[in-house]
Amino acid sequence: MILSRIFRFECFCYWLTLTAVLLDGYSYNKVDRHAARVLLKNWRRKAEEQRAKFFDRLPKNVESSYTPPEVIKHRGYPAEVHNVTTDDGYILELHRIPPSSNNTPKKVVLLMHGVVESSGTWLVNPSSRSLAILLADQSYDVWLGNYRGNRYSRRHITLNPKQAQFWKFSWDEIGNYDIPSIINYILKETGQSKLSYIGHSLGCGVFFIAMVKHPELNSKIDIMIALAPLSSFAHFTTPLFRILTPFSKIIQFFLRMKRTLGWLDSAGIGDLFFDLICEQTYSQARLCRNVINAVAGPNPENLEPELIPLVGSNYMHGTSVPVIAQFAQNYFAGETFQAYDYGWKGNLMRYNSFTPMKYVLKKVTAPVYVFSGGNDRIVTPLDVDWLLKELGNLKDSIRISDYNHADFLWGTDVKGRLYDQVISLLPSP
């Protein structure tokens, strides 16, 4: 670093000297001045290479160390924290952007995140293209959910996250307990009879489970907007997942040896990874962006390198091993949407069948609008096509040809190409 600073200082001094020479043309002929210009250009190029190598650091974004309520307040909006206890004892944390302080109740919109994410994923983009903030600007009563196991919902009335029992949950428990508890709590708190639900990825899958397991909830939904909705997982094409999926049972075995079933459950492990690997320089940020696109699908220019620190601080927030294993199970099951597979003995006890229960999506009678991406490697167009045929009350389906799985949250063009349409579908506040 010291040598680099000296080099920059020498370049600066040399630049001043050559500038003076070029301005003082009476002592040098045209050939000398041309040679000086070439030499100056070469030195400037070398100085730029050194700067890129040693000083090309990402600007620090203070919000990368904030909780979602702190981010909301930092952007000039009120924020509230609410705690919901599920019927099986998990304590979930909800983050709210309440409407402006008048006495008129506003329409409620609930946003639910995907796997290993949290409510903060809706706040990664700047306010001008953050769905949560855009909804607040339209005077909606905005609620950001966190389901069990992530950083903000890692509590239980009797269990401790250090106990394996705490982590014995799958998509099924999130859909059967968390989503109903969250919906009913919000409606009671706001005095409303219905709300609008916007989910991304697994946030859609657990909604479908909730509607199937609790049919009465369908009448409490004004509209459900599904962004890259997870259901069938038969055709996913992410290379890393396809490599690891056949070894899912072996991975589960070794994870059990650490006496917990938590996945990325250590506090701050995601932040540490992104801070060390992705958040120091633009080169690192672009590398990590390429990794994200390798998983989510191609479209690299739609994620700004400057957002990588915020992506890192709102990703890898933890879940359970069974939640991750259920992805592999649904992949091997083909075109279906099934409950967790406990093996034939466990299935007999839970489902009275040798095989896991299949969720009948025709029972989802709440009105659903689906937005999907043509470049999505996780929720592929083929899997979305299967879902569209299965839903009980599909209103419309829009496919954005070049969108990958992450563009629905962090895309640079997401407001004009997606969120404006989403907001236009909602009942007026």
Indicate if 32 and 115 belong to the same structural domain. no
Largest Cα span, the chain: 98
Indicate if 250 and 112 belong to the same structural domain. yes
Indicate if 111 and 6 belong to the same structural domain. no
Indicate if 25 and 134 belong to the same structural domain. no
pLDDT at 200 over 80: yes
Classify 404 as helix, strand or coil.
coil
Residue 421, in any domain of the structure: yes
Q: How many whole angstroms separate alpha carbon 231 and alpha carbon 167?
A: 22
pLDDT digits (tens, 9 = 90+) for 219-245: 999 999 999 999 999 998 776 665 665
Q: Which two tokens stand for residue 429?
A: 């506040």
Instruction: Report the pLDDT averaged over residues 311-333.
Output: 83
Indicate if 20 and 124 belong to the same structural domain. no
Per-residue confidence at 10, pLDDT binned at 50, 70, 90? very low
pLDDT at 289 over 90: no
Q: Which two tokens stand for residue 393?
A: 């009350």
CATH number of the domain to which 88 belongs: 3.40.50.1820
Q: Which contiguous run of DSSP H or E holds residue 397? A: strand 394-400
Q: How many whole angstroms separate alpha carbon 195 and alpha carbon 175?
A: 17
pLDDT digits (tens, 9 = 90+) for 33-67: 566 666 666 666 555 545 444 456 667 778 888 99
74 classed as catalytic: no
* Contact by Cβ (8 Å): 309, 274: yes
Q: Which two tokens stand for residue 369?
A: 């609008």
Instruction: Report the pLDDT averaged over residues 214-223.
Output: 99
Indicate if 168 and 217 belong to the same structural domain. yes
Q: Tell me which of 222, 248, 405, 407 is the catalytic residue.
A: 405
pLDDT digits (tens, 9 = 90+) for 76-130: 999 999 999 999 999 999 999 999 866 678 999 999 999 889 999 999 999 999 9
Indicate if 40 and 166 belong to the same structural domain. no
Q: Containing domain of residue 181, as a range?
A: 79-425
Closest C-alpha to 58, from 303, 306, 399: 306
Residue 71, in any domain of the structure: no
Indicate if 177 and 246 belong to the same structural domain. yes
Per-residue confidence at 392, pLDDT binned at 50, 70, 90? very high
pLDDT at 417 over 80: yes
Residues 6+ apart with CB under 8 A from 27: 21
Q: What pLDDT score does 14 carry?
A: 47
Residue 399, in any domain of the structure: yes
DSSP state of 359: P
383 classed as catalytic: no
Residue 70, in any domain of the structure: no
Instruction: Report the pLDDT averaged over residues 174-197.
Output: 98
Residue 68, in any domain of the structure: no
Partners of 111 in the beta sheet? 144, 198
Instruction: Report the pLDDT averaged over residues 285-308.
Output: 75
Using CA atoms, how far residue 336 sits from 114, 230, 331, in Å, is 19, 11, 9
DSSP state of 60: P
* Contact by Cβ (8 Å): 79, 97: yes
Indicate if 292 and 155 belong to the same structural domain. yes
Q: What pLDDT score does 1 carry?
A: 45
| Most confident stretch, 13-22, 48-57, 317-326, 371-380 | 371-380
Q: Which contiguous run of DSSP H or E holds residue 414? A: helix 414-414
| Helices vs. strands in the chain: H and E counts, helices first | 18, 11
Indicate if 87 and 38 belong to the same structural domain. no
Indicate if 171 and 223 belong to the same structural domain. yes
| DSSP character string of 61-105 | -GGGGS-HHHHHHHTT---EEEEEE-TTSEEEEEEEEPPPSSSS-
Residue 307, in any domain of the structure: yes
Q: What pLDDT score does 86 carry?
A: 99
Q: How many whole angstroms separate alpha carbon 374 and alpha carbon 392?
A: 23
Q: Tell me which of 201, 231, 232, 248 is the catalytic residue.
A: 201
Strands (E) in 270-410, as ranges, are: 319-320, 368-373, 394-400
| DSSP character string of 105-133 | ---EEEEE--TTB-GGGGGSS-GGG-HHH
Indicate if 6 and 132 belong to the same structural domain. no
pLDDT at 309 over 60: yes
Q: Tell me which of 172, 178, 265, 376 is the catalytic residue.
A: 376
Among the residues of 334-414, which ranges form H helices?
343-351, 381-390, 407-410, 414
Q: Which two tokens stand for residue 183?
A: 């919906």
The total number of residues written for the chain in this structure: 429
| Strands 221-227 vs 80-85: parallel, antiparallel or unpaired | unpaired
* Contact by Cβ (8 Å): 128, 161: no
Q: How many whole angstroms separate alpha carbon 322 and alpha carbon 336?
A: 18
- The pLDDT mean for the chain works out to 84
201 classed as catalytic: yes
pTM higher than 0.75: yes
Amino acid present at 3: L
Q: How many whole angstroms separate alpha carbon 154 and alpha carbon 172?
A: 17
Residue 259, in any domain of the structure: yes
Per-residue confidence at 217, pLDDT binned at 50, 70, 90? very high
Classify 367 as helix, strand or coil.
coil
Dihedral sign computed on CA atoms, order 312, 315, 321, 326: negative
For the chain, the domain total comes to 2
Residue 59, in any domain of the structure: no
Q: What's the chain's Rg over C-alpha atoms?
A: 26
pLDDT at 5 over 50: no
Per-residue confidence at 150, pLDDT binned at 50, 70, 90? very high
Classify 378 as helix, strand or coil.
coil
Q: What pLDDT score does 78 carry?
A: 96
Q: Which two tokens stand for residue 127?
A: 């306010």
